[in-house]
Amino acid sequence: MEEVYVFSTPDISCAHCEKAIQDELILLESVTSVEVDLGAKKVSVTGENLDTEEIIDAIGEAGYTATPI
């Protein structure tokens, strides 16, 4: 069953931020889709058997901080 986790990402501000985060997260096997809301500074991750720490680490690899909401 698919889950959706939402993360606050206060450092994001542009399309480059969005692409960098999407590129890192889609590499995770458990992730099926990623939506970035620049205005709300949130990232929604959909997938199965999602691991919060793995997602936070991937967002960190893209250069941004993330906190689960």
- Give domain limits for the chain: 3-40+47-68
Nearest to 40, CA basis, from 1, 9, 5: 9
pLDDT of residue 1: 85
Q: What percent of the chain has pLDDT over 90?
A: 99
- CATH assignment, 3-40+47-68: 3.30.70.100
Residues 18, 33 contacting (CB under 8 angstroms)? no
Positive or negative torsion for Cα 4, 6, 7, 12: positive
pLDDT of residue 3: 96
- Cβ neighbours of residue 63 closer than 8 Å, sequence gap 6 or more: 11, 20
pLDDT of residue 13: 94
Give per-residue pLDDT as tens, 9-40.
999 999 999 999 999 999 999 999 999 999 99
